[in-house]
Amino acid sequence: MSSNLFPPESSVVAEVLPSPNNGERRDGRRPDMILLHYTGMSDPDAALELLRARGSDVSCHYFVFEDGRIVQMVPESRRAWHAGQASWAGETDINSCSIGIEIANSGHDHGYPDFPKRQIAAVTALCRSIQIRHTIPAVRVLAHSDVAPSRKQDPGEKFPWRTLYDSGVGHWVKPAPIMNFGHVLSPGNRGETVAAFQKLLAEYGYDVDVTAEYDAVTREVVTAFQRHFRPERIDGIADPSTRSTLADLLANRGRTRTIGARSRSPMLQTTL
Ligand SMILES: [Zn+2]
């Protein structure tokens, strides 16, 4: 049964502590997304217990402590319960297509500490090891906030996406600098330019309707975008820097690296 002990799927896993909270992936869907979370609780052990408690209805595949220790709770072939109501690139059953990683961090409501280097190194090694077993497109290593922008802000703007990118995990471009001039799109604006901007957000994967009105959803999506890609200022306003960073990401998307089973390099193996 799923709550029984199973062998760890990666050599970076220190311990398997199974969670009964899992099921079949819908229609045999194979995972092609990594979804990163923070626990948002001040006690990591309490967070771990919650994710393993029968009846809590939450779980994830991996849990990464602040000191870098990694626990696996659910086999990668199974559907863990971490995304909740979410959407990306037109898909709404995010749990069926993703592998969920919970990163111990008390979160925005409890001081939001920096992520320790050892913890980030562990998350990076874990993502790379997942990328060896599954083909995860770079653009599908995402934040919980990317797929549920109205409800979630984890892992948040302190998460060092660039560091992961430099090790071959995820998609990133250098954010365009913030300038105090240029055309700003903000809540309440309507028209063609807003529609064109919404279209680009949706093209990248965000769940936003092209309404031609800078509505509440657009603001939430822009906030999530900024947490991930332009963390210097998070205000939900599409300033030129935000729009230009999105354009760069889209332009660069076709050239992103997919590190799958075929690109197993000696460097990769020694890193693991
Ligand atoms: Zn989350």
Digit-by-digit pLDDT tens for the chain (272 residues) are 445 789 999 999 999 999 999 999 999 999 999 999 999 999 999 999 999 999 999 999 999 999 999 999 999 999 999 999 999 999 999 999 999 999 999 999 999 999 999 999 999 999 999 999 999 999 999 999 999 999 999 999 999 999 999 999 999 999 999 998 889 999 999 999 999 999 999 999 999 999 999 999 999 999 999 999 999 999 999 999 999 999 999 999 976 555 544 444 444 433 32
> How far does residue 154's CA lie from ligand 1's centre (Å)?
5
Which of 9, 66, 91, 102 is the catalytic position? 102
> How far does residue 147's CA lie from ligand 1's centre (Å)?
10
Q: Which residue has the tokens 């006690």?
A: 43
* Of residues 20, 142, 24, the one with CA closest to residue 86: 142
247 phi/psi in degrees, rounded to 5? -60, -40
**What pLDDT sits at residue 255?**
66
Residues with CB under 5 A from ligand 1 (ion): 37, 144, 154
* 102: annotated active-site residue: yes
Tokens read off for 250: 């889209």
What's the alpha-carbon Rg for the chain, to the nearest Å?
Answer: 18
> How far does residue 184's CA lie from ligand 1's centre (Å)?
30
Terminal CA-to-CA distance of the chain, rounded, Å? 29
The pTM of this model reads 0.92
